[in-house]
């Protein structure tokens, strides 16, 4: 059941659990083929080993830690539309790219001072990077006439 409280959409816990079970059951053997990743264990497996596929559309994490993700890991997430990291992540080896399909990018305490070079976020509609170390944001939009 979905309800709206003060312009916020809230889902019953059982509906959320059922949705998560459906995602896991569709690809129980290969975490990289799941459409959504929300546990740090699954996210780390995919990002450290560069196991991402075009199936992944959303990544949501909220635990603080140091992550040793493969800098190229986002390059295989061609359909990643939602990236929400609401924690203090340390990415000591950096990132080489972000998905060009991102529509929503929330990264609280983004640990780097720039986005990866060549980042093209043409689909982006919501950007929230509170308390980040980001010093320069170069999001160039191209206008097609």
Per the DSSP assignment, residues forming a β-bridge with 36 are 58
- How many helices (H) and strands (E) the chain has is answered by 2, 9
Q: Is the backbone of residue 109 left (phi > 0), alpha (psi -120 to 50) or beta? A: left
Instruction: Give the span between the Cα atoms of 121 and 139, in whole angstroms.
Output: 7
Q: In the predicted model, what is the mean pLDDT of the chain?
A: 82
For residue 134, with 0-12 CB atoms within 10 Å meaning exposed, 13-18 middle and 19 or more buried, which class applies?
middle
Can you tell me whether residue 41 is helix, strand or coil?
A: helix
Q: Is the pTM of this model over 0.85?
A: no
Residues 3-52 have pLDDT tens digits of 777 778 788 888 878 877 887 888 778 888 889 998 888 888 888 888 98
Q: How many CB atoms lie within 10 A of CB 110?
A: 20
For residue 134, is pLDDT > 80? yes
What are the extents of the domains in the chain? 30-128
List pLDDT tens digits, range 62-98.
776 777 788 888 888 999 999 998 877 777 777 888 8
Q: What is the mean pLDDT of residues 115-144?
A: 76
């Amino acid at each position: 059941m979905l309800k709206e409280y003060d312009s916020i959409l809230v889902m019953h816990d059982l509906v959320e659990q059922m949705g998560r079970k459906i995602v896991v059951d569709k690809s129980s053997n290969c975490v990289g083929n799941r459409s959504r990743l929300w546990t740090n264990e699954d996210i780390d497996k995919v990002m450290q080993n560069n196991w991402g596929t075009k199936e992944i559309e959303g990544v949501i994490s909220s635990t603080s830690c140091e992550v040793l993700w493969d800098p190229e890991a986002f390059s295989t997430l061609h359909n990643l539309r939602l990236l929400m990291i609401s924690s203090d992540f340390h990415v000591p080896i950096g990132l080489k790219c972000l998905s060009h399909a991102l529509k929503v990018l929330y990264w609280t305490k983004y640990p780097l001072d720039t986005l990866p070079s060549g980042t093209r976020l043409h689909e982006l509609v919501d950007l929230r990077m509170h308390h980040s170390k980001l010093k320069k944001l170069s999001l160039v939009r191209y206008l097609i006439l």
